[in-house]
Amino acid sequence: MSNDDLNQTGAHECADCRRAAAAAAQPISVSRRGVLAGGAGLALAALGMPGLSLAALPTDHRLIFVLLRGGMDGLAAVPAYADPAYKAARGQLAIDDPNGEQGALDLNGFFGLHPSLKNLHGMYRDGDLAVFHAVATPYRERSHFDAQKLLEVGGNQLGQVRDGWMNRMLGLYGAAGGNLGIAFNQTIPLILSGEVPVASWAPGGGEAPPEFLERLSHVYASDPLFSRLLNQAVAADALADQAGAEMAGRGMTGRGPRQVLQRTLATAVEMLKAENGHRMAVVEVGGWDTHANQGAAAGGLANQLGQLDEGLGTLNRELQPIWNKTAIVVMTEFGRTVAINGTRGTDHGTGGVAFLAGGAVNGGHVLTNWPGLDQSQLYEGRDLMPTLDSRSILKSVMTQHLGLPAGDIDRFVLPNSGAATQIRQLFATA
Amino acid sequence: MTSIQASIAASRFGLGVRPGELDGIARDHRGWILSQIQQPAAVPRQIAAMPSSAQLGNTVVEMLTRGRRMRGMSEDVRRTNRQQMTRNALQMYRNEAIARTQSAIQTTTPVYERLVHFWSNHFTVSASKNEARPFLGGFEREVIRPNVLGKFGDMLLASTRHVAMLLYLDQAQSIGPNSIAGRFGDRGLNENLAREILELHTLGVDGGYGQDDVLALSKMLTGWTVGGIRAVLPERAQSRLPEANGGDFIFAELFHEPGAKTLLGKSFPEAGEGEARAALAMLATHPSTARFIATKLARHFIADDPPQRAIDQLAAVFLNTGGDLRAVTMALVDLPEVWADPLPKVRSPNDFVIALARAANVPVPDQDLLKGMRDFGQPVWSAPSPAGWPDTAQAWLAPESLMRRVDAARSVAQAIPNSIEPMAFLEDTIGPVANADTAIWTARAPDRVEAIGLVLASPEFQRR
C-alpha cells in the first residue's frame, strides 16, 4: 500500500464536517440498547439528538454504494458480444451471444449481461438500470490497493485527499449529515470515513445490557473516538432491532455466507426504509480478483456474479416502497486484461463496468463511448481503453438524484474532477 | 514513569499483560525486550509438533490424484471425495490456527511472537485461497519464524519459494510463453506473484517500478513451482521434472522463459533458477524496500501516522546492515518515539483477543478463540488480499466492531475467577496507564463482573 499520502492534510476545508464531528463527540449518556422495540426515537433522544422525524431529515433520498473489491471483469459482466474482436480476444472466457445456449442476456444488440445477472436484466428491461462501460477512475496503474483508494477518496490522483468522498458528501448536509451514513459491515471503509461520524452495523453482534453500556459511556467520556463510536453503535442497534421486528417470521435465519449477505441486505433494507433510518449506505463485496480459472458462463466468476445479482434483486424487491427515491451505484476499482492470461484467468486491467439502479433512474441504456476491442484500440495494448471517468456517474447521482449543488461537489466532494462532467438526464425528472 | 514504560513494553512490543507480570518488566523494561531479541525463542511445543509443508504436500497431492482417478466414477462418489478433501484441509488449517493463537497467549517470549505476527502479515498468504489453506501454518513456521531476527533477504527468498506463496499467488502454474511447455500448451505467464513482490513485499507501490518490471520479474520467476505440480501434468512432461515431495520447491526448466531480462534498468543474463534469486537479492536491499519496511514497522510500533524521523532512522539501519532484522528491531527499541506516548495504537482484533486471554489468565477453549477472531473480522491467516491486514485504527474500530469488543469484554469478565478483586485486576492490567474515569467507574460498578468488564472494555485496554 502507498503510505506517502497518509501524511498529507486534506486539500479542502469543511467547517460543517468538523462541527458535526464535534457535536457527536460530546460524552453523552447511553440509556438503552436492544430493548427498545419500535422506540428508536427515544433512544436518539437519550443520545441528546432531537427526536427525528421524516421531515426533519435533510433528505429523503437514498444512495447505496456497492463496492466490488478485487477488480470485477467488466467484459465478463457486460460482454460486448457483437464487437468483431470480442470472441477472439477473450478466447475461452468469451460469453456466447444471446441466441447461444447459456448466452448473454441481451441489452441492445451489441452488449449483453452475463447469464448469471438475471435480476439486473429484469431491471434493465423495466428501465431501472443504466449500464456504463469502459469506465475508470483517473488511476492508470494496476495496484488493487491504490486503485481502491482513489475510487474511495474520489480524487484525481493519490495524495490529494485522505478521507472518503461519501463522508465529505455527508458534510454538505451540515450537522445532520452525521445521522445519514452507514456501512453495512463491522468496520467503516475508506469511502465513508472522515470527519462526519457514521454508523456501522452487521448481523451477529452480542448483547451487553443497557446498564453496562450506560456505565461504559462514562468510562469513555475522555476518549472522543470511543465515545462517538459507542453512541453510533447504540443508535444503529436500536434501528436494527426495529428492523428485526419487521423481519420476524420472514425466514431470514440462514447461516451460510450467501445467506449472511442476504440477511445483511434484508436488515439493511429495513434500516434504510425506517423513518429515522440512515440514507447513505455502503456495502462491500470481495472476491473479484480472478487471476486463474475464472470460467465463462459457468464457474467461479459466474457464481460470484450470481450472488451479486441475488443481492441486488433483494434490494430491488424489498425497497419497492421507496424504490423511486433510491439510487444504487455498483463500482469496482478497475477492469481486467482483455486477453486471457496463462492460467485461464485475467490480470489487472483498466477500463471496466459500473451499474446504476433505481426507480428514478433513466435506465434501459448502455452508456459508453465504446473504444473497441481490436488490439490497436486497447489501452497499452492489453486493457479496455477507459473513456468515461467514474466520477461523472457519481457527480450525476449527487446532483440529479440527491439535489446537491454541483459547485460544492466540485469543491469539496470530488476535488479536481472538473474534466469529469455530468451525464445529462441520468434520472427521470420529477 | 517506569511503570508506564513497562506497560508500553508489555503491550506494544509484547502481546498484552498477564497479571503479575508488570512488576518484573518494570525492573528493566528494555532488558525484558532485548533478552527476547538477542537470541531466537524456542519454537512453541504445539507448533513444533505440526507436520512440515513437504509432508503435507504429499497428502494434498494424494487427494488431488485420487480425484483425477475418480473421473469415471459417479457424481456422488466424487462429491464425497471432494467434501472429504475440503474437510481435511479445513482441519489442518484449524489445528495450525489454534496452535498459533494458544502459543501467543501462553508464551513467555511475547516480543518474538509479535514479530512473527508482524512479518507473517507482511508476507501474507491467505486461507481465502483454498489451495494454500493447508500450508499456512507451515509457511509461518518454515519461512517467518526462523527469519524474523535474520536477514530480510533470506525471509523474502524463503517466502517466494514456499508452497503456500507459490499457490496463493498463482506462481506454481505460471509458464513462460517461449518455454518448452509454453510452446506446446495453451498456458502462459501469470504476473500475480511478481507484482505483489514488487508492490507489497519489497519496493512498495511508489518504489519506482513499472509494468515492464512486473513482466520481467514474472518471466524470471517462471519455473519456480512445487513438487506437486507433477501430479497435474501429462505423463510425458512429468518425467522432465525433478523428483520431490508434493510441498517442496522445485525449479522446472520446462516452464522457464529463456533469454536475458531487464529489471529496474539492470540486465540479468539467462540463468534459470538463479535469475529470480538474483532479482530478489537486489530487491531485498533496495533503498525503496528499506523505506517501505521502515514505514510499516514504525506504523506498527509507534503510530498510525508514524513520525518521519523514526522512519528515516529505521530505514538507515536497514540499509547500512543489508536488511539485518535484529539490528532493525534493536533500533526500534532505541527510538524515543516508541516510548513517548503510552496509547497511540488501537489493538487489532488479533491483538485484542490474545490480550483478553492473557489478562484473563484462565484457559480459553480453542473454539472460543477462533470464533473470537472470526467475529471481530480477523480470522487467523485470512487477510482479504495479499496486502495483509491493515494496521490503523480507522480500519479496525467502528461502531459495530466496538460493540462486539464490548460484548466480548463483558463475557470474558464472567469467566474470571471470583477470587480476583476488580481494582487489583485493573492495577495488574492497565494500572500504569489507567484513566481517572476508568478507575472511578470501575470502583463504582455494582458487581465484580461489571467492574472487570469495564476494565476490559476500556479504551486503555483496547489501545496499546
Per-residue model confidence (pLDDT) at position A9: 28
- What grid cell was written down for A422? 455530468
The DSSP secondary-structure symbol of A401 reads: I
Pick the more confident residue, B72 or B191: B191
In angstroms, what separates the C-alpha of B239 from chain A's closest C-alpha?
22
Pick the more confident residue, A248 or B137: B137
| Residue A321 pLDDT grade (very low, low, confident, very high; cuts 50, 70, 90) | very high
Yes or no: say if B3 and B22 are a contact pair by the CB < 8 Å rule: yes
Query: Which strand (E) or helix (H) includes residue A284?
Result: strand A280-285
Question: What is A18-55 written as a DSSP string?
Answer: HHHHHHHTS-------S--TT-HHHHHHHTTS----GG
> What mean pLDDT is predicted for residues B287-306?
98
Neighbours of B108 (CB within 10 A): 11
Q: How do residues B401-458 score in pLDDT, each as one tens digit?
A: 999 999 999 989 988 988 899 999 999 999 999 999 999 999 999 889 999 999 999 9
> What mean pLDDT is predicted for residues B345-372?
94
Q: Which is it for strands B249-251 and B224-226: parallel, antiparallel or unpaired? A: antiparallel
The answer to whether the pTM exceeds 0.80 is: no
Per-residue model confidence (pLDDT) at position B224: 98
> What mean pLDDT is predicted for residues A407-417?
92
Give me chain B's average pLDDT, please.
93
| Residue A245 pLDDT grade (very low, low, confident, very high; cuts 50, 70, 90) | low
Residue B293's SS3 state is helix
Question: What is B328-343 written as a DSSP string?
Answer: HHHHHHH-HHHHH-S-
Q: How do residues B64-117 score in pLDDT, each as one tens digit?
A: 777 777 777 888 888 888 788 788 888 889 999 999 999 999 999 999 999 999
With a pLDDT cut of 90, the percent of chain B lying above it is 77
Is the pLDDT assigned to residue B145 strictly greater than 90?
Answer: yes
Nearest CB among B400, B407, B410 relative to A202 is that of: B400
Beta bridge partners of A281: A64, A182
Partners of A289 on chain B (C-beta within 8 Å) are 385
Residues 6+ positions from A204 with CB-CB distance below 8 Å: B375
Exposure of A205 in the CB half-sphere (CA atoms within 13 A): 30
> What mean pLDDT is predicted for residues A82-105?
95
Residues 6+ positions from B236 with CB-CB distance below 8 Å: none
Per-residue model confidence (pLDDT) at position A246: 64
Residues 6+ positions from B265 with CB-CB distance below 8 Å: none
The DSSP secondary-structure symbol of A356 reads: E
Q: How do residues B367-414 score in pLDDT, each as one tens digit?
A: 989 988 988 889 999 998 999 999 999 899 999 999 999 999 998 998
Q: How do residues B225-237 score in pLDDT, each as one tens digit?
A: 999 998 888 888 8
Q: How far apart are CA B452 and CA B232, in angstroms?
A: 56
Q: Do B192 and A291 touch (CB under 8 A)?
A: yes
Q: How far apart are CA A288 and CA A294, in angstroms?
A: 10
> What mean pLDDT is predicted for residues B320-349?
97
CA-CA distances (angstroms) from residue B370 to B320, B376, B418, B432? Answer: 41, 10, 26, 30
In angstroms, what separates the C-alpha of A69 from chain B's closest C-alpha?
9
E-only strand ranges, B235-275: 249-251, 261-263, 266-268
| Residue A251 pLDDT grade (very low, low, confident, very high; cuts 50, 70, 90) | low
| Residue A248 pLDDT grade (very low, low, confident, very high; cuts 50, 70, 90) | low
Is the pLDDT assigned to residue A2 strictly greater than 80?
Answer: no
Q: How far apart are CA B194 and CA B31, in angstroms?
A: 40
Per-residue model confidence (pLDDT) at position B185: 79
| Residue B60 pLDDT grade (very low, low, confident, very high; cuts 50, 70, 90) | confident
Q: Do B398 and A289 touch (CB under 8 A)?
A: no
- What grid cell was written down for B278? 538474483
Is the pLDDT assigned to residue A30 strictly greater than 60?
Answer: no
Yes or no: say if A283 and A64 are a contact pair by the CB < 8 Å rule: yes
Is the pLDDT assigned to residue A256 strictly greater than 50?
Answer: no
In angstroms, what separates the C-alpha of B205 from chain A's closest C-alpha?
6
Q: Hey, which of A204-208, A342-346, B68-72 has the most confident mean pLDDT?
A: A342-346
Per-residue model confidence (pLDDT) at position A12: 32
In angstroms, what separates the C-alpha of B396 from chain A's closest C-alpha?
6
> What mean pLDDT is predicted for residues B326-348?
96
Nearest CB among B375, B395, B399 relative to A233 is that of: B399
> What mean pLDDT is predicted for residues B266-270?
97
Pick the more confident residue, B59 or A306: A306
E-only strand ranges, A55-180: 62-68, 105-106, 112-113, 129-136
Is the pLDDT assigned to residue A26 strictly greater than 50?
Answer: no
> What mean pLDDT is predicted for residues A389-399?
97
Partners of A232 on chain B (C-beta within 8 Å) are 399
Residue B6's closest CA among B431, B301, B435?
Answer: B431
Partners of B195 on chain A (C-beta within 8 Å) are 142-143, 348
> What mean pLDDT is predicted for residues B6-17?
97
Per-residue model confidence (pLDDT) at position B2: 59
Yes or no: say if A336 and A378 are a contact pair by the CB < 8 Å rule: no
Q: How do residues A278-294 score in pLDDT, each as one tens digit?
A: 999 999 988 899 998 99
Is the pLDDT assigned to residue A48 strictly greater than 70?
Answer: no
| Residue A249 pLDDT grade (very low, low, confident, very high; cuts 50, 70, 90) | low
Q: Chain B residue closest to A286 (CA)?
A: B384
**A313 in contact with chain B, both atoms CB, cutoff 8 A:** no
Is the pLDDT assigned to residue A51 strictly greater than 50?
Answer: no
| Residue A33 pLDDT grade (very low, low, confident, very high; cuts 50, 70, 90) | very low
Pick the more confident residue, B191 or A267: B191
With a pLDDT cut of 90, the percent of chain A lying above it is 60
CA-CA distances (angstroms) from residue A109 to A73, A124, A369, B65? Answer: 20, 14, 16, 45
| Residue A260 pLDDT grade (very low, low, confident, very high; cuts 50, 70, 90) | low
Give me chain A's average pLDDT, please.
83
Yes or no: say if A272 and A62 are a contact pair by the CB < 8 Å rule: yes
Per-residue model confidence (pLDDT) at position B125: 97
Is the pLDDT assigned to residue B15 strictly greater than 70?
Answer: yes
